[in-house]
Structure 1
Amino acid sequence: MKYVPYYRVSTASQGKSGLGLSAQQDIVQRFLKVGDVLLDEFVEVESGKRADRPQLAAAITHAKQHKARLLIAKLDRLSRNVSFIFSLRNSEVDFVACDIPDANTLTVGIMAVLAQHERELISERTRAALAAKKAQGHKLGMPNITPEVTHRGLVIRQTNAEDNLANRQAAELIRLYRKEGLTYRAIADRLNQMGYRTRRGQAFLAMSVKRLDGWPT
């Protein structure tokens, strides 16, 4: 059986927990049987609030091209993200989760409904809490915005604009792969295989990977 592994990590610091990239890779390796083939891996580096999943889309495309199954280390780690669940359900690609090998399209469909219901409950509880605060005389809304605060916000937005999102994600991956002992050349090859590019749209080289490795966390 051919598999395309898909992992999701939020930050490089998660390597210290049981949900880091290395831990998920170990789970996948233990799942494989003799004769199984592991194709290119796809790693999503993002916060839990992001709705888009570019690496998931790439992994699904890769699995279709090679007539392989999408392999997920821990479905329960991703099951609260509605976008992920619906993308997986509607992908028309066979998948297997190492922690729930019997999961299927019906399973993830139910997870999507439950996840959406949980989001609605949280929103409802938040509105109720705000209404209670207002009834108690608390002043709600934005705090007084001074010129200094406005200027600081502008500086932050400019800095964020300069720090390309894809490069931020690549930098997190570089730190994870460095912890695993990979060379800058090997990391560059992996980033290029996953479709990452530099700010100028060029393929990664060992030197550009080393430069990103020096970014502040």
Structure 2
Amino acid sequence: MTKFAYIRTSTKDQNPALQRDAIAKVDDIKRVYADEGVSGTLASRPQWDALLDRLEPGDEVIVWKFDRIGRNTINVLEAVKAITDKGATFHSLTEKIDTSGPMGQAMLTVMAAFAQLERDTIAERTRAGLDAAKAQGRTGGRPPAVDANKLEKIKKLIASGDYSRAEIASMMKISPATLYRVIATL
């Protein structure tokens, strides 16, 4: 039996150290495959695909948490099926789930369903919060870089023909890209 580990972070900003530390405590791991800055919802993840191609009967795939292999119940179960179809087993360190037996497979299904419920509940709360804020007249995001007053000044400067776009952007203390986006709306 050969042990392989898989690590995934969704964004480049996320730090995989926690996953790497947990995996480092497991003996005899032949190779760690890592997709960093790759969403779990993507069908193709280069290192995940390489790991699946490499698997042989009797191998074991180890992850820190089972949500590293998929973002919803269906993704996780499909990923585990891809592993078990190769004759390999799946082991999640955090949830202590091991698919080498029927109880581990059943627990994986239950845990994946609860993880999906948690993500859906968080998304629902976020949407409700955003809707409540919108109803109160608040909107998210950065304030606009160009208000109505600046827009009028920009129009006058452009109409005068005395200044380059770069000079106008500098005078208005905005980036040239912002100026071009404003001009495109005129």
Instruction: Classify the TM-score, shorter chain.
Output: 0.5 to 0.7
In 2, distance between residues paired with 1:143 and 1:12?
24
C-alpha distance after superposition, 1:108-167 (max 9, x if no partner): 322332232222212221222122223323356774364846716x9xxxxxxxxxxxxx
1:113 maps to 2:104: no
Quick one: which amino acid aligns to residue 108 of structure 1?
L
Structure 2 residue corresponding to 1:151, chosen from 177, 181, 184: 177
In 2, distance between residues paired with 1:134 and 1:101?
42
Quick one: which amino acid aligns to residue 34 of structure 2?
V
Of all paired residues, the percent bearing the same amino acid is 23
| Within-5 A mapping of 1:131-210 | 131-139=131-139, 143-144=143-144, 146=146, 148=174, 151=177
In 1, distance between residues paired with 2:109 and 2:176?
44
Structure 1 partner of 2:90: 95
Q: Name the count of aligned residue pairs.
A: 141
Q: 1:46 to 1:141 in 2, by over 3 A?
A: closer
Q: 1:140 to 1:96 in 2, by over 3 A?
A: closer
Contact kept? 1:79, 1:108, Cα under 8 Å = no
Q: 1:125 to 1:39 in 2, by over 3 A?
A: same
C-alpha distance after superposition, 1:31-79 (max 9, x if no partner): x5xxxxx5443122226x552333122212211xx32423214235637
- Compare 126-135 and 68-77 and name the one that shifted more: 68-77
For residue 41 of structure 2, give the secondary structure of its aligned residue in structure 1.
coil
Quick one: which amino acid aligns to residue 60 of structure 1?
L
1:13: Cα distance to partner? 7.8
Contact kept? 2:97, 2:107, Cα under 8 Å = no
For residue 3 of structure 2, give the secondary structure of its aligned residue in structure 1.
strand
Output the aligned Cα RMSD. Answer: 3.8
Q: TM-score, normalised by structure 1?
A: 0.48
Q: Which has the higher contact order (CA 8 A, sep 6+)?
A: 1
Q: 1:107 to 1:60 in 2, by over 3 A?
A: farther
Q: Which runs of 5+ in 2 are unaligned?
A: 147-168, 181-186
Structure 2 residue corresponding to 1:81, chosen from 58, 71, 74: 71
Larger Rg: 2
C-alpha distance after superposition, 1:1-46 (max 9, x if no partner): 222332335669847x5x152x1342222xx5xxxxx544312222
Q: Which runs of 5+ in 1 are unaligned?
A: 33-37, 155-217
In 1, distance between residues paired with 2:126 and 2:13?
31
1:70 maps to 2:68: no
Structure 2 partner of 1:45: 36
